[in-house]
Amino acid sequence: MEEKRGLTIKDILIRLVLIIIFIVLLIWLFPMPDLKPLNSQIFLDNIDRMKDVAKSYYTIERLPENINDSKKMTLREMIDNHYILPLMDSNGNYCDEDDSYVQITKLENEYIIKVNLSCTDRKDYVIEHYGCYDICNDACKVLETTSKSGLAGDITTTYKKTNSSNKTTTKLTTKKTDKITTTKHDKIYEYEYVKNFCTEEFDKYVCPEGYTLVGDNCIKTGSKTETYPADKEITKVYSTDTKDAEPIVDSTTETKPAECREDYKTSTIDAGYKKTTYSAQKTTTTQKVTADKTYSYDVKGAVATTKTTNASYEIIQNYDVITADKIANGYKSTYKSTITSRDSGLAYENDNEKVVLVDQWKELTCDTCFTTVTVYKYYRYEKTANSYTYSCDAYDGYTLYDGNKCRKPTTQTKKCPSGYDPNGSVCTKTETTYSCDKYGSDYKLDSSSKTCKKTNVSYTCPPGTTETSDPKYCNKTVTTYTCPTGTEKDGNTCIKYDYYCPDDTSNKTYTLNGSKCTVKTKVKVCSCPEGSVQSEDKLSCVITSSTTKYSCDKYPGYTLEGDKCTKTTVTDKVVYSCDKYEGSVLDGTNCIKTVSTTDTQKAEKTYKTYCENKYMWSTSTSVDGWTYTGNKRVIN
């Protein structure tokens, strides 16, 4: 049995060569057709489709009304309104929807439709007279057979120039004698066209804000800050450090006899005494003393008497009370502060304060800026009322009450006077009184216990006394003892003291003063001069003298000057100077100087536009860039 084999590379190459030969024979036998007429037909079909849309859309009511008026519709508007589908050119690309449009213009007796199509393979337009045979006279037929080259006749130009002072219009007519060849017809017309030409003429120079116009230049003055390196100089700086020197004291001691003299020292001691006792003199007397008083009471019930009193009800008027409106009787303003701001709307006023605009000015936006900003100055005042009044005018039926309240009568109620109780149609008060009149004047009323009390008084003599004819008093026998002058009483005896002092000696003398003896002692008194110290036995004076020296030994490198130690140190100091930059100020290691600046630039020229209408006669039914005026004339 024979086995099947797969395709080899050689078999594949042979088959590929045969396919290529077959394709070449096809191209040679059947060449590609010329597609240019087809491409052109596609472009024309697209124009016709746009033209059909225009003819169907621009009905009589949508046509322009005045001569030379035009209406335009782009391809995009047609697509957006679903009048047509997007148009594709021969390259398969969509045509430009904004540059492709239809435009219809009203002439004197007809309309002209212009269809402009812009695609990637071609851009062109066609013009067609619309409705001529329906709405125009026979002259339209003559117009359609006129030579396409046109006949340039008289050109009339109207110049219209307007400025701030006057208006002038000048009309010039220029005769053209160009000779053309036309086919003979009954009549040949020329049509008048107009075109607006505008030119610009110099008006004036203007400058940016903040600049001043000088001739044809704009100048702005200002200021700027310049920075320069300061001059550096090294100088010697001498500094002295001072400390207190250490004191060193050297002392010497000298002893001298004290200066002594005789004097007396006085002291006091108790005197000695001798005591003598004897009987005092006895005396007996009778004295009247007050007897002891004893009280007793007789109590009886008081007699009650009841009394009833009637009174009328009191009418009580009730009120609805509210707070009255507080009204200020004028204000006085007190200045509080000044506010500076770039905000122009800070002024306001209320019952408590007000802010008032008092000034404004312009200043540079910053130190190095050339633009300005307006700064506003305000005064802030605190408002306080001169006085207040209260009013109830806003509350119907209310009247002012108690200074700052408003009240309005409401209901009335009845009330009994104080102490009375309601009892039907009247108010009743029942009072009970108590009396002791039936018991005589000796009985007194006790209101708290509602009793009548009589007080009885009796008298008794205390022990050791005897009664007298007056029961209020008693007799008492009193025994007294007396001693003569110069003695002291001790019970019923008298004591006498005889005082004495010791005998005088060679250095002491005594003087008796009552029960004391004054002692006068002879002593030796020694003293030392000021600045010395007296010895313990008072006989010597110790004099100590000292001298003080100063030393700087504990401060190495310091020099003694009086009682101070000083040391001088020399260091280098860097000093910066701005002397060579006149008008500058030192700031660290730099010199800052503010200088005036002037910025000059050419002023901007401004122009005014002057427009003029030029008129032209032509046998052409349309001239690119010119507008038909609706006027025409016969030229043969």
* Paired tokens of 522: 């002879």
Predicted local distance difference test score (pLDDT) of residue 31: 59
Predicted local distance difference test score (pLDDT) of residue 584: 82
Rounded Cα–Cα distance for residues 310 and 298 (Å): 39
Residue 277 half-sphere exposure toward CB, CA atoms < 13 A: 4
Tell me the per-residue pLDDT of 538-568, one tens digit each, with 9 for 90 and over.
778 888 777 888 888 888 888 888 888 988 8
Give DSSP secondary structure letters for 188-202: -EEEEEEEEEEEEEE
Predicted local distance difference test score (pLDDT) of residue 152: 34
Where do the DSSP E strands lie in 50-180? 70-74, 101-106, 111-118, 123-130, 155-162, 167-174
Give the confidence band of 210 by pLDDT, cuts at 50, 70, 90: confident
Which comes out higher in pLDDT, residue 458 or 29? Answer: 458
* Paired tokens of 510: 């005594």
Closest C-alpha among 454, 323, 467 to residue 400: 323
Rounded Cα–Cα distance for residues 334 and 381 (Å): 5
* Paired tokens of 298: 């007789």
Rounded Cα–Cα distance for residues 569 and 571 (Å): 7
Predicted local distance difference test score (pLDDT) of residue 184: 40
The vertex-61 CA angle with 58 and 63, nearest 5°, equals 45
**Mean pLDDT of the 344-359 span:** 88
Predicted local distance difference test score (pLDDT) of residue 195: 87
| pLDDT above 50 (res 509) | yes
Report how far Cα 162 is from the mean position of its chain's Cα atoms. 56
| pLDDT above 70 (res 186) | no
> How much of the chain exceeds pLDDT 90, in percent?
11
What pTM value is reported for the model?
0.23
**Mean pLDDT of the 405-424 span:** 90
Give the confidence band of 406 by pLDDT, cuts at 50, 70, 90: very high
| pLDDT above 70 (res 143) | no
Q: Reduce the DSSP state of residue 376 to 3 states and report it.
A: strand
Average pLDDT over the chain, rounded to an integer = 80
Tell me the per-residue pLDDT of 444-486, one tens digit each, with 9 for 90 and over.
888 888 899 888 888 888 888 888 888 888 988 888 888 888 7
| pLDDT above 70 (res 177) | no
Looking at residue 152, the DSSP 8-state letter turns out to be B
Any idea where the domains of the chain sit in the sequence? 1-136, 331-386
The vertex-203 CA angle with 200 and 207, nearest 5°, equals 120
- Cβ atoms of residues 505 and 493 within 8 Å: no
Give DSSP secondary structure letters for 567-595: EEEEEEEEEEE-TTSTT-EEETTEEEEEE
Rounded Cα–Cα distance for residues 283 and 310 (Å): 80
Give the confidence band of 334 by pLDDT, cuts at 50, 70, 90: confident
Where do the DSSP E strands lie in 6-96? 70-74
Predicted local distance difference test score (pLDDT) of residue 157: 34
> How much of the chain exceeds pLDDT 70, in percent?
88
Tell me the per-residue pLDDT of 588-636, one tens digit each, with 9 for 90 and over.
788 888 887 888 888 888 888 878 888 888 888 888 888 888 888 887 6
- Lowest mean pLDDT across 56-70, 96-110, 169-183, 367-381: 169-183
Predicted local distance difference test score (pLDDT) of residue 216: 82
Q: Any bridge partners for residue 192, and if so which?
A: 617
The residue written with tokens 């020329």 in the block is 190
**Mean pLDDT of the 257-264 span:** 81
**Mean pLDDT of the 362-376 span:** 80
Give the confidence band of 211 by pLDDT, cuts at 50, 70, 90: confident
What is the CB neighbour count within 10 angstroms for residue 191?
25
**Mean pLDDT of the 214-221 span:** 84
Looking at residue 61, the DSSP 8-state letter turns out to be G
Tell me the per-residue pLDDT of 94-122, one tens digit each, with 9 for 90 and over.
999 999 999 999 988 888 899 999 998 88
Closest C-alpha among 604, 606, 607 to residue 218: 604
| pLDDT above 50 (res 141) | no
* Paired tokens of 13: 């190459």
| pLDDT above 70 (res 88) | yes
* Paired tokens of 331: 């204000």
Tell me the per-residue pLDDT of 422-436, one tens digit each, with 9 for 90 and over.
988 889 998 888 889
Give the confidence band of 36 by pLDDT, cuts at 50, 70, 90: low
Give the confidence band of 30 by pLDDT, cuts at 50, 70, 90: low
- 52's CB contacts (< 8 A; 6+ apart) are none
Rounded Cα–Cα distance for residues 373 and 616 (Å): 57
Q: Which long-range contacts (CB under 8 A, 24 or more apart) does 178-186 make?
A: 178/151, 178/152, 180/147, 180/149, 180/150, 180/151, 180/619, 181/147, 182/146, 182/147, 182/151, 182/619, 183/145, 183/147, 185/142, 185/145, 186/142
